[in-house]
């Protein structure tokens, strides 16, 4: 059994590029409509798979008034991940700071999804 998120975005090609640059994801499968809209692309990040698709009349991308999901990503160097995300067009929501529960920051990617990027336990 597997469970993974599916992100709905307003430009799947650009999202694939963003997540590849920011996180180093690998694309493992891609399905699209005859007119080139992505209906499913599977992306792999370490042991995690997630999928995304272009928005359509059934599934809308999140708006800027609030995401339906906040994604929590643990990384050995959250500041570096955050910098790559910002370089790709993400907006910093909360700066990267040390907290009693670890170093972390929060960003909104160019597609409306909010990511908490936290230092992996043990640095």
Residue with tokens 């160097």: 77
Choose among 107, 111, 94, 105: nearest CA to 8. 111
Contacts of 100 (CB under 8 A, 6+ apart): none
Report the distance separating Cα 36 and Cα 32, nearest Å.
6
Per-residue pLDDT of the chain (123 residues; tens, 9 = 90+): 576 888 999 999 999 999 999 999 999 999 999 999 999 999 999 999 999 999 988 888 887 666 667 788 989 999 999 999 999 999 999 999 998 888 999 999 999 888 999 998 755
Residue with tokens 């920051």: 105
Report the distance separating Cα 63 and Cα 112, nearest Å.
6
pTM, two decimals, is 0.77
């Amino acid at each position: 059994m597997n469970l993974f998120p599916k992100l709905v975005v307003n430009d799947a090609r650009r999202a694939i590029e963003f997540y590849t640059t920011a996180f180093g994801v690998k694309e493992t499968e891609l399905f699209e409509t005859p007119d080139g809209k992505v209906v499913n692309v599977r992306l792999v990040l370490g042991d995690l798979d997630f999928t995304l698709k272009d928005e359509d009349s059934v599934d809308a991308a999140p708006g800027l008034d609030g995401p339906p999901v906040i994604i929590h990503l643990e990384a050995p160097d959250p500041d570096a991940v955050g910098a790559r995300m910002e370089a790709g067009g993400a907006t910093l929501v909360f700066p990267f700071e040390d907290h009693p529960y670890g170093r972390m920051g929060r960003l909104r990617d160019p597609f409306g999804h909010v990511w908490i990027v936290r230092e992996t336990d043990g640095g």
